[in-house]
Amino acid sequence: MSSLALKAGAAALAAAVCALTAGAQEPRVGAPAPAFTATDSQGKTDALDQFRGKYVVLEWHNQGCPYTRKHYVSGNMQALQKEWTAKGVVWFTVISSAPGQQGYVTASEENDYVAKMHAAPTAVLMDPQGKVGHLYDAKTTPQMFVIDPAGKLIYEGAIDNRPTPDPDDVKGADNYVSDALLAAMAGKPVAMPYTRSYGCSVKYAGE
């Protein structure tokens, strides 16, 4: 085999390895959820690994997004947070809007919002550099992820089946997050482990 052919083969193999490595870094339902460490709005450091043994919900958030406001103005998101944290679920609201981008808030501003809206997440993760957002390839607000006690991702996608900004549409909606948690806690497979998320785009730096 010529040296040129050997070089071409090596290049193709390297490209394939890179592609596999890149794919492995993306979250996949049924695979281990990407590990992360982030600072919350209270200045505390939270790491996913410290909650092994518990269900964890990740909720991508943007105060100014009408699709996010729909679930807070209606009280739906707060009700979900209270219902599931009371059952031992860890609920992280995640803000990945970059400084200078729509949706960016300081920790103090977010704490004021949480108090005003009577929200009840376990913590709000401040992710202005988009590290957690990119780990999970979060694209919209809201976008939801559910992780089981073994650290496996069991649901990714929309919060429900009503992709509108109308608060009235919360009534009668099929809530996919509750569906996933109820099924998993009952030892059953999640019927719809993936759905297409809806909402506003996550405002990452440079995008």
pLDDT, tens digit, for every residue of 91-115?
999 999 999 999 999 999 999 999 9
pLDDT at 2 over 70: no
- The answer to whether the CB of 146 falls within 8 A of the CB of 57 is yes
pLDDT at 10 over 60: no
**Residue 199 pLDDT class (50, 70, 90 cuts):** very high
Domains by residue range for the chain, with CATH = 28-201 (3.40.30.10)
Q: CB-based contacts of 75: which residues, under 8 Å, 6+ apart?
A: none
Q: What is the dihedral of CA 180, 182, 186, 189, to 10 degrees?
A: -20
| pLDDT of res. 26 | 62
pLDDT in tens, 72-94: 999 999 999 999 999 999 999 99
pLDDT in tens, 12-50: 333 333 333 333 356 789 999 999 999 999 999 999 999
pLDDT in tens, 123-155: 999 999 999 999 999 999 999 999 999 999 999
